[in-house]
Amino acid sequence: MLSRSLNRRHFLFRSACGFGGVVLGWLCAEEARAAALASPYAPKPPMFPARAKRVIHICALGGVSHVDTFDYKPELERRHGQDSGRKFDTFFSQPGRLLKSPFAFRQYGGSGRWVSDLLPYLAGCVDDLTFIHSMHSKSSNHTPATFLMNSGFTFNGFPSAGAWVSYGLGSENQNLPAYVVLPDPRQLPAGGSINWTNGFLPAVHQGVAFRSGERDPIPDLATPSDISPARREASVHLLEKLNAADAAAHPGDSALAARIRAYELAAQMQLRVPELVELSRETAATKSAYGLDHPNAATAGFARNCLLARRLSERGVRFVQIFNGGQFGSPRINWDGHEDIVENHRKQALTMDQPVAALLRDLKQRGLLDETVVLWTTEFGRTPITQGIDGKGRDHHQHGFTIWAAGAGLQPGLAFGATDEIGYDAVENPVEFYDVHATLLRLLGVEHTKLVFRHNGVDRRLTDVHGEVVQGILA
């Protein structure tokens, strides 16, 4: 392992005596190219004062039922089993009848926000949460809706929010990627790495997915086992010399310098990442609070990711994205409760509730919540009616659903917007993901219409041609 600090100047001067002693001349040129030598994650100043420094985005995939979690609808209890009296544009099968939530709702905290008994841990956090009950989306098909939630487009291949934030703001930590993704330990989401793609932005802004629970969370991070530290060290040294001599022969080329810098960063990451994912220094109480010791493997794995998210945020990683749920289809390993809402949502809630609540508490206790936005989203909600006449599940529903955020710059304990009495349409202050993205960027000190990248002739934005900051939720 490359243990000594790779001080660029140090090694360049040292190797100046190496191949031909021409490096000194190159160094002058290098001054002029300092920008290229800077870390690709060099922090960039926000456009106006930022309320938040970083983001943790929790994506609950499959479509979390708003009327069974955070959007309490007494009217459904009154009209349970009745025809909804309106046309439903259902996704898979014939519309059924109105279904009251099979979960018991109660008010919690000083704010009195309603939460069902599906999420007892999160219920204890409501005074820190800011709910948006009036979400609506452009698609009721999982993948387009998920892409929309992450990138502002229903098609794949557009940069995700994390990539945009990395591109716009860089990172506070130059030895770790600016955008780290923690996929559900059970499986990658549908579309895999396209969900955290840099799209047409420079590749350095792509989300770096940490493979769950492995010693080597990033591909090719570890030196092959048959290469001894001494051998590696000597190789790195010799490569530096070779590259420095080559750079000296071609003065003024920033790409050569940038590549030398990339090798330094790689060496740093080889050092930092294993330390980062090593959780032995965390107290037993902390691990237990998150649920790392949970008997359910999916819960324990997700808990580990939540704890990692805190460690990443702590180290200044700008954007951490945690997925709860894997690919769509059967068997269900996400919130896609078509067949039986009780069975499905109980199973999913068990994996998510305790770890997310623990993350919120942990961030707060460490003072990190004041400078971090925690955003919890799902791609759409679920129908207030059953799927099929005598069904026990609910179908996809794009016209009204709930997300929440917590932390820096937000009004805690707030319920913003509302759906109608059965939870069908977002009727009060409707919000789309474009608005969520615009608001997120605003909290980070970035004007969403000004964060642009020209690609194939179009000035692309995270918010496409839409988006308005949701002023009503800002503190």
Partner 1 sequence: MKWSARMLGMLLLVISAVSACADVSTNADHWAYRPLAAPPVPDFPAGSRPSTNPVDSFIAAKLAEHGLTPAPEADRRTLLRRVSFDLIGLPPTPEELRAFLADTSTNAYERVVDRLLASPRYGERWARHWMDAAHFAETHGHDQDRIRTNAWPYRDYLIASFNDDKPYTRFVREQVAGDVLFPADPQATVALGFIAAGPWDESSLRDIREDTLDRQVARYLDRDDMLTTVMQTFASTTVQCARCHDHKFDPVSQRDYYALQAVFAGVDRANRVFDADPQVHVRRQDLMRKRRRVKQNDRALLLSAETSRAVTEWEERRAAHPVTWSTVDAQTFVSVGGATLTKQADGSLLAIGTRPDRDTYTISARSPLAGITGIRLEVLPDASLPHQGPGRNENGNFHLSEFQLLTFEPGAKAAREIPLANPSADFDQQDWGIARALDGDEKTAWGIHPREGEAHQAVFELKEPLALPPGTTLVFVLKQLHGEGHLIGRPRLAVTDARTSLRVLPTELTAIVALPIAQRTDDQRALLAADVLGERIRLDLAALPPPSLVYAAANDFEPDASLKPSGVPRVVNLLKRGEITKPMEVISPGTLSCVTALPARFELADPADEGARRAALASWLTAKENPLTWRSIVNRVWHHHFGRGLVDTPNDFGRMGGTPSHPELLDWLAVWFRDDAKGSFKELHRLLVTSATYRQSATVVNRKSEIVNPPDPGNRFLAHMNRIRLDAECVHDAVLQVSGRLDLHMGGPSDRQFDLQPGIHVTPRVDYTKFEVDGDAGRRRSVYRFLFRTLPDPFMEALDCPAGDQLTPARNNSVTVQQALALWNNAFVARNAEHFAARLEREAQTPEARIRRAFELVFGREASAEELTEFTGHTRQYGLANCCRLLFNANEFVFVN
Identify residues 136-175 at the interface with partner 1 (CB under 8 A): 139-144, 154-157
CB of 35 to partner 1, least distance (A): 12
Classified as helix, coil or strand, 182 is strand
Secondary-structure breakdown of the chain: helix, strand, coil percentages, each rounded to the nearest 5: 35, 15, 45
Among 38, 329, 343, 365, binds partner 1 (CB under 8 A): 329
Nearest to 2 by CA among 276, 260, 268: 268
Closest CB to partner 1 among 112 and 157?
157
Minimum CB separation from partner 1 for residue 53, in Å?
Answer: 22
Provide the minimum distance between the beta carbon of 186 and partner 1 in the complex, in angstroms, as a whole number: 9
Segment (H or E) for 298: helix 297-314
Name the minimum Å distance from CB 437 to partner 1: 19
Kindly indicate which of the ranges 45-53, 79-87, 220-228, 286-294 contains the residues binding partner 1, using the contact rule CB under 8 A: 220-228
Mutual orientation of helices 297-314 and 254-277 as an angle, nearest 10°?
Answer: 130
Q: Which of 327, 344, 354, 419 binds partner 1 (CB under 8 A)?
A: 327
Closest contact distance (angstroms) between CB of 180 and partner 1 is: 13
Instruction: Find the binding residues for partner 1 in span 60-89 (CB under 8 A).
Output: 89
Among 18, 407, 412, 423, which residue sits at the site for partner 1 (rule: CB under 8 A)?
18
Closest CB to partner 1 among 195 and 439? 195
Dihedral over Cα of 266, 267, 272, 277: its sign: positive
Report in angstroms how near the CB of residue 432 gets to partner 1 at its nearest: 14
Q: State the sign of the Cα–Cα–Cα–Cα dihedral 135, 140, 145, 148.
A: negative
Distance of alpha carbon 275 from its chain centroid, rounded?
21
The answer to the question of residue 219 lying near partner 1 (CB under 8 A) is yes
Q: Which of residues 245-304 bind partner 1 (CB under 8 A)?
A: 246-247, 249-253, 255-256, 258-263, 265-266, 269-270
Residues 342-361 that bind partner 1 (CB under 8 A): none
Report the greatest alpha carbon distance in the chain: 87
> What part of residues 179-198 is at the interface with partner 1 (CB under 8 A)?
187, 190-194, 197
CA distance 235 to 475: 54
Rounded CA gap, 318 and 165, in Å?
8
Helix (H, G, I), strand (E, B) or coil at 283: coil
Closest approach, Cβ 117 to partner 1, in A, equals 29
DSSP annotation of 106: E
5, 10, 24, 28: which one binds partner 1 (CB under 8 A): 28
The amino acid at 458: V
Give the closest residue to 344 by CA, choosing from 403, 392, 301.
392
Count other Cβ atoms within 10 Å, centred on residue 57: 24
CB of 256 to partner 1, least distance (A): 5
- Residues numbered 88 to 127 that lie near partner 1 (CB under 8 A) are 89, 91-92
Nearer to partner 1, 137 or 354 (CB): 137
Question: Prior bond to 331 cis, omega within 30?
Answer: yes
> Which of the residues 418 through 447 are near partner 1 (CB under 8 A)?
none
Q: Which is nearer to partner 1, 366 or 455 (CB)?
A: 455
Measured distance CA(159)–CA(201) in Å, rounded: 7
Distances (CA, A) of 13 to 18, 34, 39, 261: 9, 16, 20, 15
Identified binder of partner 1 from the candidate list 231, 389, 428, 450, rule CB under 8 A? 231
- The one segment of 73-81, 202-210, 298-306, 380-388 that binds partner 1 by CB under 8 A: 202-210
CB of 275 to partner 1, least distance (A): 16
| DSSP assigned state of 262 | H
Q: Which of residues 442-471 bind partner 1 (CB under 8 A)?
A: 454, 456-459
Instruction: Write out the binding residues for partner 1, residues 358-387 only, by CB under 8 A.
Output: none
Question: Which residue in 60, 73, 62, 61 sits closest to 385, CA to CA?
Answer: 73
